[in-house]
Amino acid sequence: MLKAVILIGGPQKGTRFRPLSFEVPKPLFPVAGVPMLQHHIEACAKVPGMKEIILIGFYQPNDALSRYLSSAQQEFKILVRYLQEFAPLGTGGGLYHFRDQILSGGPSAFFLMNADVCSEFPLLEMLRFHRDHGDVHCAVVLATTANRKQSLNYGCIVESQKTHEVLHFVEKPATFVSDIINCGIYLFTPEIFTHIGMVFQRNQEEKLYSGCSWYRAEVIHLEQDVFTSLAGQQQLYVYKTQGFWSQIKSAGSAIYASRLYLNQYLQTHPERLVSSQEGGCTVNGNVFIHPTALIDPTAVVSVLLGPNVSIGKGVCIGAGVRVRESIILHGASLQDHCCVLNSIVGWDSTIGKWARVEGTPSDPNPNDPFAKINSETLFRDGGLTPSITILGCNVNIPSEVIIRNSIVLPHKDLSRSFKNQIIL
């Protein structure tokens, strides 16, 4: 029997996702029309023998999370639980803290994944690889290829070409080590806890001797504390995937991740994509429209959506509206002739007639097959880095203005055009 553990973080994490993360925990943010977590859960539920999914994080139990978990349980007919850490314990601390729960029922192995990654989730292939390679007690790290410069932003893996063992692992090195990077998706056997346990003991001893009271001994970083010492011991193996993968750290990366998942729907969930022939609006590329969204029935054909557009629950779209490379969240209203490009329009926001809401795409270089999305800083050269435009929840954009490369915080009524600004 198998289990899956998903690390969902907490409110102190995911600050690059503001202001969107003010309304909803980041793992529940809709990507390609469904909550970010759902892509993980769907992938796990497809694995034969998967009996339970455990979410670990330090969000306080809230309505949104609880409601989502119970609906996921019902829909996927699989046990889904949330275990709340008493404090942020790092990528390994919570895992260790809840090891008894994870191991209850005697799973032969379990997956561990970060919530804020977008992936094809080649879980069956990882299982097969695990059976075919090395000792049955080994751990498998899913990896992909990055370009040299960007690899420095990730965990870098040096691989034995013959055995696929991880010879060396280093998190965010200062100089180039390897272009094979860690995806944040792993397959562990219960033996992993022995190794984590040793780190835990060592930390406890250090704390005792150092006398620092603020230093929390239970915090364990899987990558720095565990993998780096496991490398080269025939305990850690790497499975390289050709499938798509991206981190989802910023709002811009949510749009990029949407594109990857919407494209995957062609194979896995074609019913979630809109086709142009349905006598509805005109569609380019892959578009998700929630069944409760309403498009002006008198002028449906004048609306042009896509590529890479997700329209949420109850969204209203007027005549002659254009949306491209954007996410329109639940309850928003797009009035006649407006144009939304490379933006995220927050819940219940309104965009007036002929208004233009536009951001700058932050996509990875399409000519480089290994390029990953950049994690740009918010400011650069004294100004706001041109990026996706984000409207928080309940923002009202008047007609005929332009909002470009800006971030608008929730519950704001704008009265004029803005460019390259954060509007509080």
Partner 1 sequence: MKALILVGGYGTRLRPLTLTVPKPLVEFCNKPILLHQVENLAKAGVDHVILAVSYMSEVLEREMRLQEQRLGIRISLSHEQEPLGTAGPLALARELLTDNDEPFFVLNSDVICDFPFEDMLKFHTHHGKEGSIVVTKVEEPSKYGVVVYEGETGRIHRFVEKPQVFVSNKINAGMYIFSPSMLNRIQLRPTSIEKEIFPIMAKEGHLYAMELQGFWMDIGQPKDFLTGMSMYLQSVRVQNPEKLCTGPGFLGNVLVDPTAVIGENCTIGPNVTLGAGVVLEDGVRIKRCTVLKGARIRSHSWLESCIVGWSSSVGQWVRMENVTVLGEDVIVNDELYLNGANVLPHKSISESVPEPRIIM
To the nearest whole angstrom, how small is the minimum distance from the Cβ of residue 320 to partner 1? Answer: 4
The token duo for 73 is: 């349980």
344-363 residues near partner 1, rule: CB under 8 A: 353-354, 356, 358
**Nearest Cα to 342, choosing from 251, 413, 423?**
251
Show the 3-state SS of 85-112.
CCCCCHHHHHHHHCHHHHHCCCCCEEEE
Amino acid at 388: I
Phi-psi region of 172 (alpha: psi -120 to 50; beta: other; left: phi over 0): left
**Residue 269: how many CB atoms within 10 A of its CB?**
16
Query: What mask of x and - would describe binding to partner 1 in positions 277 to 306, judged by CB under 8 A?
Result: -------------------------x-x--
To the nearest whole angstrom, how small is the minimum distance from the Cβ of residue 343 to partner 1? Answer: 13
**Residue 365: how many CB atoms within 10 A of its CB?**
12
For residue 227, the 8-state DSSP code is I
| Candidate list 47, 78, 152, 319; residue touching partner 1; CB under 8 A | 319
Q: Are 360 and 390 in contact (CB under 8 A)?
A: no
To the nearest whole angstrom, how small is the minimum distance from the Cβ of residue 127 to partner 1? Answer: 45
Query: What mask of x and - would describe binding to partner 1 in positions 23 to 62, judged by CB under 8 A?
Result: ----------------------------------------
Query: What mask of x and - would describe binding to partner 1 in positions 378 to 417, judged by CB under 8 A?
Result: ----------------------x-x-x-------------
To the nearest whole angstrom, how small is the minimum distance from the Cβ of residue 260 to partner 1? Answer: 23
| Candidate list 40, 97, 337, 412; residue touching partner 1; CB under 8 A | 337
The token duo for 128 is: 């097969």
| Candidate list 322, 330, 372, 412; residue touching partner 1; CB under 8 A | 322
| Candidate list 252, 312, 320, 331; residue touching partner 1; CB under 8 A | 320
Tokens 């950049």 label which residue? 374
136-175 residues near partner 1, rule: CB under 8 A: none
The token duo for 182 is: 């860690």
The answer to whether residue 82 forms part of the interface with partner 1 (CB under 8 A) is: no
**Residue 199: how many CB atoms within 10 A of its CB?**
19
To the nearest whole angstrom, how small is the minimum distance from the Cβ of residue 316 to partner 1? Answer: 17
With respect to partner 1, which residue has the nearer C-beta, 85 or 358?
A: 358
The token duo for 189 is: 């056997």
CA distances from 237 to 28, 164, 226, 227 (A): 31, 6, 13, 10
To the nearest whole angstrom, how small is the minimum distance from the Cβ of residue 282 to partner 1? Answer: 11
Phi and psi at residue 74, to the nearest 5° = -65, -45
To the nearest whole angstrom, how small is the minimum distance from the Cβ of residue 351 to partner 1? Answer: 13
The answer to whether residue 324 forms part of the interface with partner 1 (CB under 8 A) is: yes
Tokens 């005549």 label which residue? 319
With respect to partner 1, which residue has the nearer C-beta, 162 or 416?
A: 416
To the nearest whole angstrom, how small is the minimum distance from the Cβ of residue 361 to partner 1? Answer: 12
**Nearest Cα to 7, choosing from 260, 217, 188?**
188
The answer to whether residue 316 forms part of the interface with partner 1 (CB under 8 A) is: no
CA distances from 370 to 147, 181, 244 (A): 5, 11, 10
With respect to partner 1, which residue has the nearer C-beta, 120 or 358?
A: 358
Interface ranges with partner 1 (CB under 8 A) = 302, 304, 319-320, 322, 324, 336-337, 339, 341, 353-354, 356, 358, 400, 402, 404, 419
